[in-house]
Structure 1
Amino acid sequence: MGETRTSGRAPALLPARDLAVAWLLMVALAALAWALTVAQARDMGVEPGTMGMAVPLFLALWLVMMIAMMFPSVAPVAVTWARGIARQSTGLVRAGRTTAFVSGYLVVWTAFGLVAYGLLALTGDLVQDHPGAGQWIGATAFALAGLQQLGPLKNVCLRHCRNPMSQLITYAGYRPRARDFRVGMHHGMYCLGCCWGLMIVLVPLGVMNVAAMAAVAGVIFLEKLWRHGPALSRVAGIAFLVLAVLCFVGPAQDWLLPGLTAPSAPMAPMDHMSAP
């Protein structure tokens, strides 16, 4: 819209070696982020709310989590975009452009992190003041996730994430200034539209619940890259609706709502029961 386009000449492809390096770098960053996330989760545990974190610390941790969870599925798009970087460019220029793409992508998820922080702060306060509200909050989160998985916005965004080539080709004709950053943001917004429902289930399951994070990351990866991804998306949506109902079943609350269950107060010393 209103952009001045450059020549429509097709850009040269990156050498296979450079593409392999880009893949390995994305995987390495995701692996490092997982290691940091697991270590942090071990120290913090699973609790309601923001777990006492201020906004800057939470966003830093959230950014590491997004790198861990999203980079495996966004790597193909990043590498596809890298194919459009001219072979004649220096390695430093290519690295800078790829970094700009990834930065734009992460800016979108960091902004969503502010929304997540607000939700966690609100739900944490509600659970602290009204412990019985946890099952209602959890049921709402699972129901919203299920409806989002089955809704039209999910289909539109998932189609883009599974086949982004047409949009990337459109961006390739735009003037270079900040183009890579804008492309990353654009793809990040489609990715957010595709995955926000999956992310909000971490409110009841626990933001620092490593098993839940791994399961969500696995669904995201398969949705975008597996040939049966769209069918998996619908199955996950139905499953979330079932989990919304199970939030009101006593035994299920222990494993469905750890992120909405206030920790029990420590028992007071029983000195009065000791023998005189």
Structure 2
Amino acid sequence: MTSKLSERSGDRRMMSERASQQAFFGIAALLFAASAAITIAWCSSMSAMGGMPMPGHWTMSMAWMPMCGQTWPGAALTFLGMWAVMMVAMMLPSLIPMLWRYRQAISDNGEIRLGQLTLVTGLAYFLVWTTLGVIAFPLGALLAAAEMQQPALARAVPLMEGMVVLIAGALQFTAWKAHHLACCRGAPGHRHKLQANISEAWRHGLRLGLHCSYCCAGLTAIFLVIGVMDLRVMALVTAAITMERLAPHGERAARAIGAVAVVAGALLIVRAVIPA
């Protein structure tokens, strides 16, 4: 009798865990699909508007400037809202395994409680990325204004872009990169003991976001300078981030991505120095 009760209890627990897993990944898939659809629609509308041709044979994205009749605060809010949605689409594929490991680490807390703590962790994580957007917009807007006022600076942009890509690629080979990548790929609580409460979930999400933003610093720089509203660049950067997080040998993947970036940066520099 005891054995049968134990088996039934084990079966019920297994079914509950399977349902929890299906719900978690189902919600994640819906969130990714929604954010990706909004991002594609927005970037497509920006592409249809075109950019501003600049000295040096390149085109400035309109993402850094107000639309017709729009104020600068309105432009900043528009950029920030779009940035937040883009970060969900770009970072969610690599965040999902981290959140799943977090759920497993605090799994003895009931489904409702588990969902709340996971949600808080995710919100804290994306707060870090949203803050990066708050910093990026004024810097990008100031740089865009300077480029429009100073033709010499505008002509140097293709060369500077190549140098940024080259440096970002070299960053992939550093111990600093390897450290933060290991923190993103590691099990939760390997440095900090996790407690199943809201404040600890918030702190854990912030830690994940900070490690992730440091780990992705080079790839984010490439995204910002090459095409912040370019779907092709966005897809490549998303694939690179996801690959180095989920591949069996993350450091090797990071170095391979770095090698590609170094070559791409060198080619951009050559093209800027020796225009066709």
State the TM bucket, normalised to the shorter chain: 0.7 to 0.9
Pick from 118, 126, 136 the counterpart of residue 98 of structure 1.
118
Amino acid at match of 2:27: L
Deviation at 1:251, TM superposition (A): 8.3
- When the two structures are aligned, how many residues end up with a matched partner? 240
Q: With CA pairs under 8 Å and 6+ residues apart, which has the higher RCO, 1 or 2?
A: 1
Pick from 48, 52, 56 the counterpart of residue 77 of structure 2.
56
Q: How does 1:103-122 map to 2 (within 5 A)?
A: 103-122=123-142
Q: Contact 2:65–2:75 at 8 Å: present in 1 too?
A: no
Q: TM-score scaled to structure 1, two decimals? A: 0.78
**1:26 counterpart residue number:** 28
Pick from 92, 111, 118 the counterpart of residue 71 of structure 1.
92
CA distance in 2, matches of 1:184, 1:120: 27
CA distance in 2, matches of 1:218, 1:57: 26
CA distance in 2, matches of 1:75, 1:126: 40
Amino acid at match of 1:50: W
Amino acid at match of 1:141: V
Pick from 228, 235, 245 the counterpart of residue 224 of structure 1.
245
Q: Contact 2:105–2:188 at 8 Å: present in 1 too?
A: no
Deviation at 1:236, TM superposition (A): 1.8
Identical residues among aligned pairs (%): 26
Q: How does 1:117-128 map to 2 (within 5 A)?
A: 117-128=137-148
Uncovered stretches (5+) of structure 1, i.e. residues with no partner? 1-11, 255-276
Is residue 204 of structure 2 the alignment partner of residue 190 of structure 1? no
Q: Contact 1:247–1:253 at 8 Å: present in 2 too?
A: no
Q: How does 1:11-22 map to 2 (within 5 A)?
A: 15-22=17-24
Deviation at 1:99, TM superposition (A): 1.0
Amino acid at match of 2:142: L
**1:44 counterpart residue number:** 46
CA distance in 2, matches of 1:107, 1:167: 23
Q: CA 1:136 to 1:119, structure 2 compared with 1: closer, same or farther past 3 Å?
A: farther
CA distance in 1, matches of 2:105, 2:271: 54
Pick from 204, 208, 222 the counterpart of residue 225 of structure 2.
204
Pick from 126, 129, 136 the counterpart of residue 159 of structure 2.
136
CA distance in 2, matches of 1:72, 1:126: 36
Q: Contact 2:223–2:234 at 8 Å: present in 1 too?
A: yes
- The alignment yields a C-alpha RMSD, in angstroms, of 2.6
**1:145 counterpart residue number:** 168
Pick from 162, 179, 186 the counterpart of residue 156 of structure 1.
179
Q: CA 1:162 to 1:175, structure 2 compared with 1: closer, same or farther past 3 Å?
A: closer
Deviation at 1:116, TM superposition (A): 2.0
Amino acid at match of 2:173: L
1:49-86, CA deviations, whole angstroms, 9 ceiling, x for partnerless residues? 61426222211111101100100111011111112344
Deviation at 1:162, TM superposition (A): 1.6
Q: Contact 1:15–1:87 at 8 Å: present in 2 too?
A: no
CA distance in 2, matches of 1:35, 1:112: 22
Structure with greater helix percent: 2
Deviation at 1:231, TM superposition (A): 1.4
